[in-house]
Structures are given as C-alpha cells and as structure tokens.
C-alpha cells in the first residue's frame, strides 16, 4: 500500500507513534521518526524493526526548535530519501483544572502541540511543494472537537490542529498535497492513561463500543490516509473514538 514512499513521524517513541511507525513500515514505506525523551524506547523499536528486515531511522528532535527541524528535514532527505508522508504526532498533555493552569503550562502545551506542528510541517512541506506531491497527517484529539471534561489548554491546542489542517489543505491543494487530521478518543495507552478512572468509566458508558481504543486502530487509519487509496480525502478531521 505504501511501497516506494518515505514517511517521517514525529513523536515516534510514544504509544501511538510506535504503532504508526510499525504500521507504515508494515505497509512498505521507508520510515524515519523523531523522539525527544524516549531514547531507550526508540532504540528498542529500531532493534525490533531492523531484526524484521525493515530499514528504519530514528532521530532526536525538539519540535519547538525551528532550526533543528529544518536541518533534520534536509538530513533525512539526504540520508534516507525524499519525504512524501509527514505525520505530526508529537504532543504533550497535562491533567489539571482551569484555575490551576499557569502561563508556563499554557505555553508548554501550545508550544509542543501547535508550534511544533507548524515548525515541522514548514520544514518538510518545502520539499513537497517543490515536487508537487505530498501527504500530511496531523494527530488531533476528540478533546478538540467535542464538549468534554478535559484540560482547557489541551483542548485549545487540539482545536488548533483542526484549523491548521483546514487552512493548510486549502493552500497546499494546488501542489497536490493533501492534509488531514486523525482525532483519537480515549485509548488504552498514551496520554489517556492519565485520565481519572471515573472519567474513563464515563467515557465507556457514552461510547457506542463501550471500550477504549487501541493505538493500533489509530495507526491503521493513518496508514490508509497516507496511501493513494485515500486520494480524494482532504481537509478532513476523522474521529477514531468508538462512537461518542
């Protein structure tokens, strides 16, 4: 499905990121990914994929460092190939009520989830524009699309992902570049594990499938959107939430 394509995923050492890396590699893409703090997890992932005969590259990256993003985009294209699939997955969350959110907390969430997405996309989109082909998939959240009991700054950041996707899809469509958002609901791994147990049970009560999702289920949708089988899907924010 993704043979002859090169993909780059940010936040590849996290629960969802690992699943995306593995799934895109399974579908035939050459995969590079970044991590910030999960160096040991990244090493294990590299070893697992390499043992399976998969050529994968991992790079340390702070997504809020614009210069580092630009340099890494150039390095990957020189060392690994021309990137035509970008997955903006790097993110961070905090569980705290609005009255306790300090300015530094707001800045952290906005920097990683929004500014980082902008800087990475800008770095890799340049090559896509030159070649007039590309596919950008942003990982959003149900928190940015529904009225839920979630941290305000996290919901605001994930809402920004949707706006970013819509405007970018309109602008880059002329270059044959598609931009979509995948918005997971509560998952069994990742940031969802920090949700209080009471809220986890409430989610399952309201969810048509009565369960949390798995990172692999998010990755399968990402793989489909990254493929030519979804060639007329653009500017969409697709929920993976079990039916809320």
Catalytic residues: 154
Q: Is 132 exposed, middle or buried (0-12, 13-18, 19+ CB in 10 A)?
A: exposed
DSSP state of 141: -
| Residue listed under structure tokens 């009255």 | 99
**Contact of 137 with 182, CB cutoff 8 Å:** yes
Q: How far apart are CA 11 and CA 60, in angstroms?
A: 10
Q: How far apart are CA 40 and CA 46, in angstroms?
A: 10
Calculate the alpha carbon distances from 170 to 88, 126, 174 in Å: 18, 16, 8
67 three-state secondary structure: helix
**Alpha carbon distance 5, 98 (integer Å):** 43
């Amino acid at each position: 499905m993704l043979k002859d394509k090169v993909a780059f995923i940010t936040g590849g050492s996290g629960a969802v990121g690992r699943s995306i890396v593995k799934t895109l590699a399974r579908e035939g893409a050459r995969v590079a990914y970044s991590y910030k703090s999960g160096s040991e997890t990244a090493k294990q992932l590299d070893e697992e994929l390499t043992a399976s005969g998969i050529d994968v590259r991992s790079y340390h990256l702070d997504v809020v460092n614009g210069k580092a993003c630009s340099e890494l985009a150039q390095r990957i294209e020189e060392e690994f190939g021309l990137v035509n699939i970008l997955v903006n997955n790097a993110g961070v969350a905090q569980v705290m009520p609005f009255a306790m959110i300090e300015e530094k907390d707001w800045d952290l969430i906005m920097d990683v989830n929004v500014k980082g997405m902008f800087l990475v996309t800008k770095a890799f989109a340049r090559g896509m524009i030159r070649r007039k082909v590309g596919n950008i998939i942003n990982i959003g959240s149900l928190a940015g699309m529904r009225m839920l009991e979630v941290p305000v700054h996290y919901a605001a950041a994930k809402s920004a992902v949707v706006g970013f996707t819509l405007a970018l899809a309109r602008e880059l469509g002329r270059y044959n570049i598609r931009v979509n958002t995948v918005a997971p609901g509560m998952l069994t791994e990742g940031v969802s594990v920090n949700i209080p147990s009471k809220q986890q049970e409430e989610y399952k009560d309201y969810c048509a499938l009565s369960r949390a999702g798995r990172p692999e289920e998010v990755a399968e949708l990402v793989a489909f959107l990254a493929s030519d089988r979804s060639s007329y899907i653009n500017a969409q924010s697709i929920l993976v939430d079990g039916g809320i």
